[in-house]
Amino acid sequence: MSNAPRLRFLKGHGTENDFVIVPDLDGRLELSAAAVARICDRRAGVGGDGLIRVVRSSAHPEARGMAAEAEWFMDYRNSDGSIAEMCGNGVRVFARYLQRAGLAEEGDLTIATRAGLRHIHIAKAAPEGAPDSGAVTVGMGKAVLPEPGPDGDVTVEVGDRTWSARNINMGNPHAVAFVDDLDQAGNLFTAPAVHPASAYPDGTNVEFVVDRGPQHVAMRVHERGSGETRSCGTGACAVMVAAARRDGADPAVTGRPVTYTVDVPGGRLVISEQPDGTVEMTGPAVIVAEGELDPVWLDAVLD
C-alpha cells in the first residue's frame, strides 16, 4: 500500500506551450527538481514544458511580501525541475485555472511571480464558445535592455553561423536574433551558444526571428531548462521589443503604443508596448484535462 498522497493535476497550454498544473493551495507539497522532471517527462510522466504549482501567496515564503496585493503565487518550474522567474504563457494558463476552479472571475486580477506582480485581464468568452475561449491579457512589466557594452552586445551561434543579438530581460533573460530563415536555427533541443557568457550568468532563452509583414514577425525559441518549445510568452515579448527598437518604434520616444503580432509554432500572440514601457501580451489559455497521479508511481517519484 502506498503512503503517497493523492495528487490531483490538470494539463493546460497557451499557444501549445504546455504545463502540468498542480493545485497546492496551502503550500503543503514539496516537489524536488527530480520529481518535477519525472512528472514533466513526455514518455514516463504526464509530460509538459513546465510545472505550475498553484499556492496562496501567504503560504509561500517567496511570495508573502506580495500577499497583500496578490492572493495567488505561481511557483513555476522548467521541465528539468529548475526554478524559473516567470513564464508568460504559464501565467495565462495559471489565470485560466483560477477561473475554472472558481478562485477568480472574468475581469482583472493580480498574480504573484518570482519576477514580481503580474496584472491579468480575463476576457469574457464568446457566448457560443467553449469555457476556455476568452483571451487572457497579461501585463508583463517593463523590458530591461542593458546599456551598450560587453553585456549588451551579444552574439548567438549555431554551427558555423553567428548572428548579433539583442539582450532583453522580461523578468527572465533573452537573446533575440533576427535571421533570414527560421530553419537556420537548426535543432533547438540543443542550446545555441551565446557570447559573452558573462551576459547571462544563469543561462538564457534564445529566440530566432523572421519578418512576416509590417509589425508582424515569427519566431522559434530554445527555452532555458526545457529545449525548443512551441511558444514562449516572455520570449514573444522580448521579440516584440527587439523588433520595435530595430524598426525605430520606441513608444517612450513617440508617445504612442506600438503593437506587433508574433507567430509562434503553436499559434499567435499579440504584444503591445505602452509609452511608459509596460509590455502587454494577449493570447489563448486552455485547460485540456485533469486527473490524479497514481499513488504507487507518485510514491516512487517522491522517494
**Known binding-site residue numbers for substrate:** 17, 78, 88-89, 172, 205, 223-224, 233-234
Instruction: Answer yes or no: are the C-beta atoms of 221 and 165 closer than 8 Å.
Output: no
- Given CA atoms 171, 175, 181, 185 in this order, what sign does their dihedral have? negative
Q: In whole angstroms, what is the distance from residue 72 CA to residue 66 CA?
A: 9
CA 142 to chain centre: 15
Give one DSSP letter per residue of 193-212, joined into a string. Answer: EEE-GGG-TT--EEEEEEEE
CA 36 to chain centre: 17
Contacts of 62 (CB under 8 A, 6+ apart): 73, 75, 114
- DSSP annotation of 44 reads T
Q: Which one of the listed residues 40, 46, 232, 264 is annotated catalytic?
A: 232
Q: Which one of the listed residues 87, 176, 243, 301 is annotated catalytic?
A: 87
Tally of CA atoms within 13 A in the half-sphere of 24 that contains its CB: 21
Helices (H), 65-160: 88-100
The enclosing H or E element of 251 equals helix 251-254
196 cis-preceded (ω within 30 degrees of 0)? yes
Feature table: binding site = 17, 78, 88-89, 172, 205, 223-224, 233-234
Residue reference for cell 557594452: 149
Q: Respond yes or no: is residue 237 known to be catalytic.
A: no
Tally of CA atoms within 13 A in the half-sphere of 33 that contains its CB: 7
- Known catalytic residues are 87, 232
